Amino acid sequence: MRALHLTSHEIPPVLSDLSEPNPGPGQIGVRIAACGLNFADLLMMQGRYQDTPPLPFTLGLEVSGTVERVGDGVTGFAPGDRVAVFGGRDGLAEYGVFDASRAVLMPDSMSFEDAAAFQIAYGTSHLALGHRAQLQPGETLLVLGAAGGVGLTAVEIGKLMGATVIACARGPEKLEIARKAGADHLIDARSEDIREAVRALGGSDVVYDAVGGDQFTAAFRSAKPEARILTIGFASGDVPQIKANHLLVKNLTVMGLYWGGYLTFRPEVLTGSLAELFAWYDADRIQPHISHVLPLDRAMEGLELLRERKSTGKVVIRIPG
């Protein structure tokens, strides 16, 4: 099988020919149809992600495909089933072996491309806004990086939850995509003062930050008293340093959200969230935005689109059988 294999954090991964693995106990073997790219893939290439596997390994966190083989003890899956899997690795390949506990059956109405773009982006925003921040109808939600993979789903889900949504993104084209996803107010991060623009709109009750850096600081300073600030990621490359005494002035709460972490300590929260999200998809309430679909031999090009912030929503790699 072909796979985008990483052997060193000092050199780029290479499309390599590898042997197909066999599923062990509790695992399923999946003929991969599509893989969603994530900013975490870029961090893994550098060895900077919190869950970077030991070298060598194949990149690709989330996939969709068809079950071909099942290992001993697996129940609930059979050859021929269409599944979405958050494997955390091994997705940019023609075939993969994953723990069955990390797989879910896809709705019949869902395409492989949508499934590969779905779990991390929607799952992160749903858990962040609902489970962690407990966003309430009528509150104001500020989304930084609002046209990105997770940011766009935060706009969409925040609106479904009854919030007034302020979308912050770079340039009119990205802001138009956020508007179509339901944003009520738009802020251009390239040309506007985010702090003053949010203050002019009355401040925010919840901040969803996948960017970090100066944008975090502006959002922090423009938040309402008792606001909840969600740290999702740091696409800017700048991890903010928060002075604890500044939290006291407006009784602010800063909270982190690592979606994949729930698999290790509260998996029922994650699986319950995904079940609700799949039901929303089936009811046509949410729809993944995919700006690029590329073949496996152009996977590095897809990762560069993420690095250079030239994509919106998700980039998906289609993997032919």
| CATH superfamily of this structure's domain 2-118+288-318 | Medium-chain alcohol dehydrogenases, catalytic domain (3.90.180.10)
Can you tell me the mean pLDDT for 15-34? 97
Can you tell me the mean pLDDT for 298-320? 95
Element (DSSP H or E) covering residue 42: helix 39-46
Instruction: Note the pLDDT of residue 141.
Output: 98
Instruction: Note the pLDDT of residue 136.
Output: 98
Is residue 301 very low, low, confident or very high in pLDDT (cuts 50, 70, 90)?
Answer: very high
Q: Is the pLDDT of residue 122 over 60?
A: yes
Instruction: Note the pLDDT of residue 320.
Output: 81
Topology match between the domains 2-118+288-318 and 121-260: no
Can you tell me the mean pLDDT for 122-130? 97
Per-residue model confidence as pLDDT tens digits over 231-283: 999 988 889 999 889 899 999 999 999 998 898 889 899 888 998 999 999 99
Segments making up each domain of the chain, as ranges? 2-118+288-318, 121-260
Q: Which residues contact 185 (CB under 8 A, 6 or more apart)?
A: 164, 165, 166, 167, 201
Distance CA 280, CA 285 (A): 5
Instruction: Note the pLDDT of residue 303.
Output: 97
* E-strand stretches of 43-88: 57-58, 62-70, 82-86
Q: Is the pLDDT of residue 297 over 90?
A: yes
Q: Please give the single-letter amino acid code of residue 65.
A: G
CATH of segment(s) 121-260: 3.40.50.720
Per-residue model confidence as pLDDT tens digits over 156-188: 999 999 999 999 999 999 999 999 999 999 999
Residue 298 DSSP class? G
Over the chain, what is the mean pLDDT? Answer: 95
Per-residue model confidence as pLDDT tens digits over 194-204: 999 999 999 99
What pTM did the predictor assign? 0.92
Can you tell me the mean pLDDT for 18-37? 97
Is residue 25 very low, low, confident or very high in pLDDT (cuts 50, 70, 90)?
Answer: very high
**pLDDT > 70: percent of the chain:** 100
The residue that leads in pLDDT, 288 or 271, is: 288
Q: Which tokens sit at 185?
A: 């107010």
Instruction: Note the pLDDT of residue 114.
Output: 97
Q: Is the pLDDT of residue 17 over 60?
A: yes
Can you tell me the mean pLDDT for 101-129? 95
Distances (CA, A) of 89 to 5, 82, 92, 306: 10, 19, 8, 18
**pLDDT > 90: percent of the chain:** 92
Instruction: Note the pLDDT of residue 235.
Output: 86
Instruction: Note the pLDDT of residue 50.
Output: 85
Residue 226, by phi and psi: left (phi above 0), alpha (psi -120 to 50) or beta?
left
Instruction: Note the pLDDT of residue 236.
Output: 85
Instruction: Note the pLDDT of residue 143.
Output: 98
Q: Which residues contact 108 (CB under 8 A, 6 or more apart)?
A: none
